[in-house]
Amino acid sequence: MSGPKYPNQQLRAVSLEAYFPGQFSVLAGLASVQALVRSELPNLFVPNVEPGQAPALRPFQLRNVENSESLAFAINQASYVSFRYPGFDAMKARAVPLLRDALGKLDVEKLNRVTYRYENEIGIGRDERAALPLDRILKLDLPVWCGSQFTKLNLDSQWLWDGGQVAVSVHVDGPIGAEILKFSIAASMTANVGPVSSLGRYADAVHNEANRIFETMITDDFREYIRAGGQDE
């Protein structure tokens, strides 16, 4: 699911998320992180908390001027988010050093979860000349009586893999004729993960699992569509 291999992939965001036991000192250390990356990520976004959400678990974000990448921090996590996904190798080369340096400033030494998350948004309007219909994008194996032209669809699933767990969400919403398919894949390592210094290795593992799920979910038609004009790695 890399940039060079799938140049037409319609990703909203891809993130590498590093979780650790919550500590209030993170909030005090965010000024040091901001100073570390101010020249690259000068824009600060504060969390918008809705009723029922825990304010301390909502992240502050530092973004670049182009709004193409972000570092996000809460009292129990640090995440790198790419809004213009360049492919895994390029993202890893950018994300892992940034997260390691930031976590060092926050005195975080051990992680208890690492997640790699893809978030996709695709138009599936009924006019096939404008967009691919749902059954030509994902292999959902739904009952025949469901059909494939949904105005609403909400599917959420979660299961275990050797390193932890995977969560997949598939939603269709929007006005009739202009429906939007939103699907996300989040692969997490959760079993006593280990030191921040090994974040690159954890990133490889969770990315590989997320990518494996993606490849099994999409149809051959959609694979050819997002590969158009690209080359195999």
**Segment 108-129, tens digit of pLDDT:** 999 999 999 999 988 876 555 4
Whether the predicted model's global pTM rises above the 0.75 cut: yes
Rounded Cα distance between 118 and 65, Å, is 22
Q: How confident is the model at residue 126, as a pLDDT?
A: 58
**Segment 166-204, tens digit of pLDDT:** 999 999 888 877 788 999 999 999 988 999 999 999 999
Mean pLDDT of the 6-32 span: 89
Q: Residue 196 CB: number of other CB atoms within 10 A? A: 23
Rounded Cα distance between 173 and 125, Å, is 11
10-14, 46-50, 62-66, 89-93: least confidently modelled range: 46-50
Q: What is the DSSP string of 129-174?
A: TTS--GGGTB-----GGG-S--S-EEEEEEEEETTEEEEEEEEEES
Q: How confident is the model at residue 5, as a pLDDT?
A: 52
**Segment 29-61, tens digit of pLDDT:** 999 999 999 999 999 999 787 777 777 688 999
Q: How confident is the model at residue 4 (pLDDT cuts 50, 70, 90)?
A: very low
> Residue 15 above 90 pLDDT?
yes
Q: How confident is the model at residue 227, as a pLDDT?
A: 80
